[in-house]
Amino acid sequence: MVSQACSFVRNIIIARLISPADFGIAATFAVTISVFELTSNLNMDKLLIQAEDGNEVAFQKTAQLLQAAKGLINAIFILLLGGPIAYLFGEPRARWAFFLLALVPLLRSFIHLDTYRFQREMRFRPAVAVDVCSQVLVTVVALPLAFWLRDYTAMLWILILQAASATVISHVVSERPYRWAWEKFYVRRIISFGWPLLVNGLLLFIIMDGDRFIIGSAHRLFPGSSLTLADLGVYSVAFAFTMAPTMFVANIGTSVVLPHLSRVQRMRSEFERRYSSLAQIVSLVTAAVCIPFITAGGRVIALIYGTKYAAAGAFVGWLAAMWGLRMIRVTPTLAAMALGDTRNAMVSNIVRTTAVVGIVIGVVFGAGLQWIAACGFFGELMALGTCVFRLKREHGIQASRSVKPLLPCAVGAGLASGLSAAGVSTTGPIAAIFVSVALVAAVTSAMLLAFPTLRSQLRGLDFGAAMPAANEQVVS
């Protein structure tokens, strides 16, 4: 929560002090980092959590060596491609900034993996220290930095400072000395586990940043398009605004849900019980987050970021619904990963990338930001269906365990969309807040009535029950 709050505050500070066009250039930095990070990520941190021998010293040393090599390669590629990237986004004056951006993956590559190894034992304080301290530090300096520079370079220095501080703090909170090793057995393990996720990383770039990449480069690639860097700035504000809760749930899910399910991967009944519990909780959280965004998101964006971003109100509902589906998909994706299946995420994201085809076609014919956001929603809907279907086919987890908790959430979001289209969000903040609270309360009541186990979980009586000790898992 602190991490997402810091990110939220930084975006407000920078968006208020720079123009939408400069914010669009700043967004291209994030897109550039994402394309290299996601397409080279073997998810060694997740393997250290999931693997039964993930606590081995040689395993961790080998993972740290591969991580450092990956960061160096990414930095070299950014240096080589900085000029063409700046030209593609139509900002040759920012060429030097893209060269300097190579420091970000290089600094991140030296993060100590002890913070992930601790999570095997549900120890999260070191990881929290790394994330929170680095986020708070860059948030504190964001205001004076943005006030001084007043352009996109403020975001560049924030990215570099955050990468450096996170790396330093990870070494401070670690227990083992930071070392490298080359063990062929572990290298093969890492590659075997990570190659589907490597492909998935490319797909994630297309999903997470493909739309912004298309918006930012549309004036170069598609002569019929009227999209500009200012449009990218408006879209990026709405994108980050609606994405923050999803990233919060995804980060919590990866940290808590993955070891929670991995520990009972050989205990079928307990695994399914925990999966159902998590699906219900995530669906309830999704409803509580998405419905207010759909009914009042546009008004809130204009209020927080300024009227120069008011155009986001036309499509923020689509983005909120899209991220809601993404939030729902976290549970089946991590359930498959806990069972050693990394292909589920890859296949689901292959389906999700079909939305980019619709986006490109729309942009070629002059479609605006609303079309782009709607394509993302329908792509995410297809990806969720694929993820749940594969979980049933490959692992026998009934689709009803995922679909039933989703239904009340979907009904509430549908009602919110209808009321928003009818103009509720424009009648005033009081009406929008009242409608949001009423719909969230209705969905919550429906879920508590439909799922008795959810009531006991929220009372804290059931969710952590039957947590097996390590020796219990081995025996089973």
Highest average pLDDT, of 35-44, 291-300, 385-394, comes from 385-394
**What are the pLDDT digits (tens) for 115-162?**
888 887 788 889 899 999 999 999 999 999 988 988 888 989 999 999
Mean pLDDT of 103-107: 93
pLDDT of residue 103: 93
Local confidence band at 426 (pLDDT 50, 70, 90 cut-offs): low
Cα–Cα distance for residue pair 107/165, rounded to 1 Å: 9
236 in Cβ contact with 382 (< 8 Å): no
Local confidence band at 448 (pLDDT 50, 70, 90 cut-offs): confident
pLDDT of residue 166: 93
Mean pLDDT of 315-334: 90
Burial class (CB in 10 A: 0-12, 13-18, 19+), 353: middle
**What are the pLDDT digits (tens) for 466-476?**
333 333 333 23
pLDDT of residue 462: 44
**What are the pLDDT digits (tens) for 368-421?**
899 999 999 999 999 999 999 999 988 888 888 888 888 988 898 888 888 877
Burial class (CB in 10 A: 0-12, 13-18, 19+), 45: buried
pLDDT of residue 468: 38
> Of 36, 35, 117, 108, which is closest to residue 68 (Cα–Cα)?
108
Among 27-31, 203-207, 279-283, 284-288, which stretch is predicted with the lowest mean pLDDT?
A: 203-207
Task: Tell me the pLDDT of the chain averaged across its residues.
Answer: 83
178's tokens: 């930071």
Mean pLDDT of 164-183: 91
What single-letter DSSP state applies at residue 54?
T
> Of 289, 245, 282, which is closest to residue 463 (Cα–Cα)?
282
Local confidence band at 458 (pLDDT 50, 70, 90 cut-offs): low
Look at residue 457 and tell me whether its pLDDT is greater than 50: yes
Residue recorded with tokens 């990806």: 383
pLDDT of residue 53: 76
Cα–Cα distance for residue pair 254/77, rounded to 1 Å: 29
336's tokens: 């498959």
The Cα-based distances of 59 to 44, 177, 182, 418, 473 in angstroms read 10, 14, 9, 53, 22
Look at residue 109 and tell me whether its pLDDT is greater than 50: yes
The residue type at 309: Y
Look at residue 298 and tell me whether its pLDDT is greater than 60: yes
**What are the pLDDT digits (tens) for 342-352?**
788 888 988 99
49's tokens: 């959590």
pLDDT of residue 371: 93
pTM as predicted:
0.72
79 in Cβ contact with 99 (< 8 Å): yes
pLDDT of residue 424: 61
346 in Cβ contact with 203 (< 8 Å): yes
pLDDT of residue 469: 36
**What are the pLDDT digits (tens) for 177-230?**
999 989 888 888 888 877 777 777 777 778 778 888 888 888 778 877 888 888
